[in-house]
Chain A
Amino acid sequence: MRMQCLDTKFFTSSTSLAPIQLPSRMETHLWYVIPNEVKSEQLLNKYLEFLPKSEKERVFSMRGDELQKGALLARALVRTTIARYQTNQVSPRSLKFRKNIHGKPEVDWQQIEDWHPQQLHFNISHTESLVACGVTTHNPIGIDIEEKERKIKHSISSFAKRYFSQQEVQLLSSISDPEIQRQEFIKLWTLKEAYVKALGRGFSGSPFKTFTIRSVAASKEGIHLSESSSSENSDIVVESLEDSANHTGDWRFALLELAGSHYAAICSKNHPMKMSVWRTIPLVEDEYVSGTDSVIAVGGLM
């Protein structure tokens, strides 16, 4: 079920936040904040109040104002978003997080009274200029975002040879235009990161060299009508080079151009992966942006 666009801007000084409906098994939600849109120090201090001491300390251990702000927004986004999905009033402050045995962050539901977890899964990614949080139910999710203009220090060819699979190296080296090669590299990086984060086994649990991600022509049952005007009819698939029992066919990917400035890769098992995307400023406003220029499908299922 789709969320209606909230036309009202509201600012509340209490911690009551407008509730939102959990995504179904066939949906994926993506929320993002643009740090440049959050200027009010009063608002930033409100966000700070949502964090427990340990998270505050981590925010302030970041070196420099912009990094601190980014870290704060990431915590504020995940806490307010998850709190809003609860049917009972849960304050963002009261949420407890822990890491699974491989280090992937997850909500510690036991600490919340009266809460029946509908298996809410989340994953965060952020750059200097955008903070994003993906949410699913029933299945894990991994997301990764990168600035479209991101350049790496090494040559793409040497980087790919070091970290990517052979097929991926071949694909990248077949691209003669350096700018297009760079773009494809960044897209591939975000997809690989999103996959590893969805698996939740850490960088070493799923080394980049051991799997290939690529686009294939869409299979008939895989196509779903999307709201964006120009989604390419291609699927993004992952193939494991090691263990064929990895059930890699279960994983779905979406690749988006987000807010005109970023590539965003989303990976989950939810199928079909109908994406709903909101630009948000926690406590202030939400804007449903799916179907607008802020969300352009680059590939994969929408």
Chain B
Amino acid sequence: MATFTASSLSFTSLSISLDQNKGLARGSVSLPAKAKSFGALTLRSAPMRFRVSCAAKPETVEKVCEIVKKQLALPATTEVSGDSKFAALGADSLDTVEIVMGLEEEFGISVEEESAQTIATVQDAADLIEKLCEKKE
């Protein structure tokens, strides 16, 4: 188990993420070690095609990462990806609300409080944006 040492804190990475450019899904699918129910979604080893509904385009995810990095004033070298959790990056409630506002401005959408409350990761935000953008059309 990780412990605190004099020089640094050891970091145990628990999330597994599929590279967005490879893998089977059009968007990225994140599989946190802590169980999150995916319902009917099962992964099989045979080549297959499946589409994760509401999976956002990589460009959307990228844009969200930019907005998050800017809001939290993260160093450019910080790795932020689809399964990055806002809270883990240091976002408090005021940051999260500003991030939502930033997304609304960037994408020309309006995010209801109920939806905003469910956003925990960059991917969540990107998926919501695409859903709201589709509604606009």
Which residues on A are within 8 Å of B, measured CB to CB? 41, 44-45, 48, 54, 56-57, 60-65, 67-69, 127-128, 144, 146, 150, 152-154, 158-159, 162-163, 189, 193, 202-204, 207
Contacts and interface: CB of A to CB of B under 8 A. Distances in A.
B9 A63 contact: no
Given A60-B2, A61-B14, A65-B9, A203 B117 contact: yes
Given A44-B4, A154-B101, A203-B116, A61 B94 contact: no
Nearest to A53: B1
A256 B56 CA distance: 43
Contacts of A162: 101, 104
B90 A62 contact: yes
Nearest to A162: B101
Contact of B102 (A61, A67, A153): A153
Interface residues of B, number: 36
B113 A60 contact: no
A41 B4 contact: yes
Contact of A63 (B34, B71, B89, B92): B89
Given A57-B34, A153-B71, A163 B10 contact: no
15 contacts: A54-B34, A60-B12, A61-B12, A61-B15, A63-B78, A63-B90, A65-B9, A153-B71, A158-B101, A163-B101, A203-B113, A203-B117, A204-B112, A204-B113, A204-B117
A60 B10 contact: yes
Nearest to A186: B94
Nearest to B73: A153
B14 A152 contact: no
A62 B117 CA distance: 20
B3 A48 contact: yes
Interface string B35-66: 00000000000000000000000000000000
A159 B104 CA distance: 12
B93 A207 contact: no
B133 interface: no
Given A41-B4, A60-B9, A153 B88 contact: no
A143 to B, nearest CB: 12
A45 B85 CA distance: 25
Interface string B78-104: 100000010111101110011001101
B98 A153 contact: yes
Contacts of B88: 61-63, 67
B114 interface: yes
B92 A127 contact: yes
A57 B92 contact: no
